[in-house]
């Protein structure tokens, strides 16, 4: 369900829907509005998942399947965790000086989020992680890999050296002076796991 309608907003429709339905349907909210106030209100009114635009058809399909298989509390809890993780990643990217206009920036946010929830992605970065990110952004795994590498290289050249050393003291490639894609993703995922309680 879209959150914004011409005559009545989606939250009003959601409330009305649950007031009139004897059996609770599964509801996925889709919107360009990712504000915590809207997310919390949708949660309180019984939505199962909140998906912020833009997203691919493949992502929507995946979320529909997830919601179908999960209880309402589980699905919304998972989405709230993803939002907290995204906020934390963006906080660290800002601290180290990674510009958000790099395509690799968006790919890294998605890749780190995936690894936080499923660490096994790190064992198959090329075969599993890059293809998953590529599917989300309707591009190729090779493009994802190159864009991530470019974003890391530019950040190491122009970013905050002090912050980079604090966040990545053991993830540096001895020859190149910067972490590999995998090392960067692994280090960020571990840092955010320590920051956020995912239970």
The per-residue pLDDT for range 68-123, each reduced to its tens digit, is 776 555 555 566 677 788 888 999 999 899 988 999 999 999 999 999 988 888 99
DSSP E strands, the chain: 28-31, 49-52
Enumerate the H helices of the chain as residue ranges: 10-20, 36-44, 57-69, 72-96, 103-117, 130-137, 141-158, 161-167, 181-195
The per-residue pLDDT for range 188-199, each reduced to its tens digit, is 998 888 888 665
Q: How far apart are CA 20 and CA 4, in angstroms?
A: 21
Full residue range of the structural domain in which residue 161 is found: 76-199
CB distance 135 to 58 below 8 Å: yes
What average pLDDT does the structure give for the chain?
A: 81
What's the Cα-to-Cα distance from 17 to each of 7, 33, 71, 120, rounded to whole Å?
16, 21, 18, 40
56 with 86, same domain: the answer is no
Most confident of 2-16, 46-60, 134-148: 134-148
115 with 168, same domain: the answer is yes
The last residue of a domain, from among 70, 100, 130: 70
Q: Percentage of residues in the chain with pLDDT exceeding 70?
A: 82
CB distance 169 to 125 below 8 Å: no
The last residue of a domain, from among 11, 42, 70: 70
Q: For the whole model, what pTM was predicted?
A: 0.61
32 with 124, same domain: the answer is no
66 with 91, same domain: the answer is no
94 with 52, same domain: the answer is no
The per-residue pLDDT for range 138-177, each reduced to its tens digit, is 899 999 999 999 999 999 888 887 888 777 765 555 455 6
The last residue of a domain, from among 70, 90, 114: 70
CATH number of 58's domain: 3.40.50.2300
Number of domains the chain is built from: 2
């Amino acid at each position: 369900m879209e959150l914004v309608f011409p005559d009545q907003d989606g939250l009003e429709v959601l409330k009305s829907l649950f007031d009139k339905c004897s059996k609770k349907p599964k509801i996925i909210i889709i919107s360009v509005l990712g504000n915590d106030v809207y997310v919390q209100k949708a949660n309180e009114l019984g939505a199962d998942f909140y998906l912020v635009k833009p997203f691919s058809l493949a992502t929507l399909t995946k979320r529909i399947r997830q919601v179908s298989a999960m209880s309402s509390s589980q699905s919304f809890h998972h989405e709230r965790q993803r939002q907290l993780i995204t906020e934390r990643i963006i906080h660290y990217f800002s601290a180290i000086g990674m510009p958000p206009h790099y395509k690799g920036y968006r790919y890294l946010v998605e890749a780190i989020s995936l690894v936080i929830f499923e660490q096994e992605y790190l064992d198959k970065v090329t075969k599993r992680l890059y293809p998953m990110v590529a599917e989300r952004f309707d591009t190729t795994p090779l493009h994802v890999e190159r864009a991530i590498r470019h974003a890391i290289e530019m950040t190491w050249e122009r970013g905050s050296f002090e912050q980079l050393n604090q966040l990545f003291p053991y993830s540096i490639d001895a020859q190149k002076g910067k972490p590999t894609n995998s090392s960067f993703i692994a280090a960020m995922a571990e840092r955010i796991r320590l920051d956020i309680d995912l239970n």
